[in-house]
Structure formats: C-alpha cells, structure tokens
Structure 1
Amino acid sequence: MAFADSYVGQLRALVGNRLVLMPGARIVIERADGRILLQKRTDFGLWAVPGGNAEEGEDLETLIAREVVEETGLIVTEIEPFGFACNPQYETVQFQNGDRSQYFSLMFYSRSFEGEPAVTDEESSAVGWFAPDGLPDVLPNTARSVKAYLRFKATGIFQMI
C-alpha cells in the first residue's frame, strides 16, 4: 500500500507535520537459537524490530501479522503480547520530513514462523538475525523493546515501558 493511501498518509494530508498520537504494534521474532529478527530501516538507517501502525478497522494482531509479511516476508503464528510501550521520551519520533508521531505500541513476540526473511518493501534495506546481546545500531525504542522482552522471558511479567 502506498503511504498516501494508508490511514497515516491520509491523516498527514489533513494535519501536516503536527504531533500525532499513533496506536500500533511491534514484534520480537525469536529463532530457536535465541537470535532475533531485525530490519534496517530506510528512513533512519538504523535497525528495528518489525512493526507499524493500525489501519482503519484493523486489530493489533492483524496489524502485526500484516506488517511482518510486508516488511520481512515471514508469516508469524502463535503471536503473544509481552508488553506495552508508551513512554513519550522514547516513543516520540520526528521523521526527516518533519512529521512527528508519539507511539502507543503493544509489543508482541513469536517463536513460530514460516519462510525465510527477506527485504520485501521500500521500508527496509536489509533484514538479519542478531543475538540480543550483540545488536547493531538500533532505534532507541527497539533497544528498550528487546530489553523488555528479555525481562519478560526471565520473569513472565508483562512489561510497561
């Protein structure tokens, strides 16, 4: 879907660069060896976990499954929530074009997926599996999300970050 046709694209046409509060989701996809999947984003040149914003009439589980397919080519199954990210210090982003968004993201994880990851859209320039303790340069909210996922794995406690 072209950005201009998306809900966010249509909203931006109305409000311009003004700060917009955005519901969304992101996901930590973990391979059997403990490595997690990241995509190198073309907008910031940094790595991030897959994720995105809701379209009209879309629930967050559908959103995250759609975004994973669009961004990595993988089909995720057995998606489970592990936390919620809403700290404006880390969830407020200004894009190169001046658009500003504050995200409220349900964080999911999955250890069950089909396919091999690949660059499948213009949002990514690379995809790869990384050890959680050896991440490349990542967006700050991705670093926090991965740490929250590791705390969740260790404690089973839903993470609010």
Structure 2
Amino acid sequence: MSFADSYLGRLRALIGDRLVLMPGARIVIERDDGRILLQQRTDFGLWGLPGGSAEEGEGLETAVLRETAEETGLIVRDVEPFGFGCDPQYETFVFPNGDQVQFFALMFYTRSFEGEAAVTDDESGAVGWFAVDALPEMLPNMARSIEAYQRFKKTGKFQMI
C-alpha cells in the first residue's frame, strides 16, 4: 500500500503536517544466535525495528504482521507483546517533510519467522541482522525498545517506556 492510500496518508491530505497521535506496533525478531533484525529507514537514514501504524479496522497484532511482511519480506508467527512505547520525549517526531507524529507503539517479539529478510518497500534502505552489543546508529525510540526487550528477557516484566 502506498503512503497516500494509507489511513495516515489520507489524514495528512486533510490536516497537513499538524501533530497526529498515532497507534502502531514494532517488533523485535530474534534469530537463534541472538541477532535481531533491523531496517535502515529511508526517511531518517537511521536504523530501527520493523513496524508501523495501524490501518482502519486493524488490530496492532495484525498491523505488526502486515508491516513486517511489507518492510522485510519475512512472515512472522507467534508474536508476543513485551512492552509499550509512549513517552512523548522519545515517541514524537518531525519527519523531514515536516509531518509531526506522536506514536503509541505496542512492542512485540518473536523467534518464529520464515523467509529471507530483504528490502521490499521504499521505507527501507537496507535490512540486516545485528548482535545486541554491536548495533548501528538507531532512532532513539528504537534503541530504547531493544533495551526494554533485554530487560523483559531478564525479568519477564512488561515494559512501559
């Protein structure tokens, strides 16, 4: 789906670049060797987790499954929530085109996927598997999400960040 056809794209056509509060989801996809999948975003040039905004009539689990397939080509299964990102200090962005968004993101993880990760849309410049102790330059909210996932793995406690 193109951005113009998405819910947010249609909303932007009506309201311009004003701040939008947007529900969404992101996912940590972890391989057996502990590496996680990241995508290099074309808008900021930084790395982040696959994910995105929900469409009309779509739940957040469905949104993260769809966004992952669209952005990486992977089919993920057995997704589980581990946290929620909602701190305006980290979840509010002004995009290069001037659009303003404050995200509210349910964070999922999985170790169950099929396919080979690849760039499959214009939102990703690259995809790659990274060790948690050797991450590339990331968007701050995405780095915090990975830190929250590490805490969740140690404690089993749902993370509010």
TM-score of Structure 1 vs Structure 2, range by shorter chain: over 0.9
2:23 corresponds to: 23
3-state SS of 2:143 partner: helix
Structure 1 gaps, min length 5: none
State the match for 1:33 in structure 2: 33
**CA deviation digits over 1:20-49, x for unaligned, max 9?**
000000000000000000000000000000
Deviation of the 1:133 alpha carbon: 1.1
The residue identity in structure 1 corresponding to 2:73 is G
Q: Which amino acid aligns with 2:23?
A: P
Aligned to 2:11: 11
Give the distance between the partners of 1:32 and 1:26, measured in 2 at CA.
20
Deviation per residue, 1:72-125 (Å, 9 max, x gap): 000000000000000000000110010000000000000000011000000001
**Structure 2 match to 1:106:** 106
Give 1:152's aligned amino acid: F
Query: How many equivalent pairs are there?
Result: 161
Matched letter for residue 126 of structure 1 = A
In 2, the alpha carbon distance for the partners of 1:127 and 1:3 equals 20
Cα RMSD (Å): 0.4
Q: CA deviation at 1:2?
A: 1.1
Give secondary structure in 1 for the equivalent of 2:117: coil
Q: Distance in 2 between matches of 1:145 and 1:134?
A: 15
Find the aligned partners of 1:24 and 1:119 in 2 and give their Cα distance. 21
How far apart, CA to CA, are the structure 2 residues paired with 1:33 and 1:136? 18
Rounded Cα–Cα distance in structure 1 between residues aligned with 2:126 and 2:29: 16
The C-alpha deviation readout for 1:51-87, integer Å capped at 9, x for no partner, is: 1000000001110000000000000000000000000
Aligned to 2:74: 74
Structure 2 distance, partners of 1:19, 1:91, is: 12
Gaps of at least 5 residues in structure 2 are none
Q: TM-score, normalised by structure 1?
A: 0.99
- The TM-score normalised by the length of structure 2 is 0.99
Deviating beyond 6 angstroms after TM superposition, the runs of 4 or more aligned structure 1 residues are none
User: 2 CA distance for matches of 1:48 and 1:64?
Assistant: 14
Cα distance between partner residues in 2 of 1:68 and 1:131: 19
Give, as a single letter, the amino acid of the residue that structure 2 aligns with 1:94. Answer: V
Which letter does structure 2 place at the counterpart of 1:79? V
What letter corresponds to residue 102 of structure 1 in structure 2?
A: Q
Question: Given the alignment of the two structures, is residue 128 of structure 1 paired with residue 144 of structure 2, yes or no?
Answer: no
Q: Identity over aligned residues, as a percent?
A: 74
For 2:136, the aligned partner's letter is: P
